């Protein structure tokens, strides 16, 4: 939904005030999209997993334990990099402690309560009966 003219003017005023108050922070925020950087790191992690897999297979074909270990370490590092950047790269929003986006999940579907809560509720119902 596009912003109205009044909202755009207010946003511009807020941006100018931010630049005046803290130009270093404003330039760091304006420097780029965090999702783009996270997406690149995620892609790098995926490439490292594939490269590590190639090294691991190469270490198995050529009986070389150090090459196999190196391949495993590269795969592990790539998987860790990809997993750590997955949420930021895909742009999914977490429900914080305030539970702001708690009502609905992706696509407007109602979000189910966590499994722990559902299991506790089932146990309580059984115990009460």
Instruction: State pLDDT tens for residues 27-40.
Output: 766 666 667 788 88
Spatial neighbors of 51 by CB under 8 A, at least 6 apart, are: 74, 78
Residue 74 has pLDDT above 90, yes or no: yes
Identify the residue with better confidence: 53 or 121.
53
Assess whether pLDDT exceeds 90 at residue 75. Answer: yes
d(CA 124, CA 118): 10
Taking every pair of Cα atoms in the chain, the longest distance, rounded to a whole number of angstroms, is 70
Structure tokens that stand for 75 in this block: 């795969």
Examine the pLDDT at 10 and tell me if it is beyond 80: yes
Instruction: Give the pLDDT confidence of 86-106 residue by residue, as tens digits.
Output: 777 776 555 445 454 545 555
Q: What average pLDDT does this structure show over 2-11?
A: 82
């Amino acid at each position: 939904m596009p912003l109205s003219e009044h909202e755009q003017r207010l946003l511009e005023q807020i941006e100018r005030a931010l630049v005046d108050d803290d130009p270093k922070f404003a330039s760091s925020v304006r420097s780029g999209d965090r999702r783009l950087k996270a997406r690149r790191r995620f892609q790098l992690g995926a490439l490292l997993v594939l490269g590590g897999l190639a090294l691991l297979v190469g270490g198995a074909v050529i009986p070389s334990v150090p090459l196999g270990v190196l391949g495993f370490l590269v795969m592990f590092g790539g998987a860790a990099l990809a997993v750590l950047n997955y949420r930021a790269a895909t742009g999914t929003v977490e429900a914080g402690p305030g539970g702001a986006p708690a009502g609905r999940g992706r696509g407007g579907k109602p979000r189910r309560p966590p499994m722990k809560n559902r299991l506790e509720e089932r146990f309580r119902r059984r115990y009460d009966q």
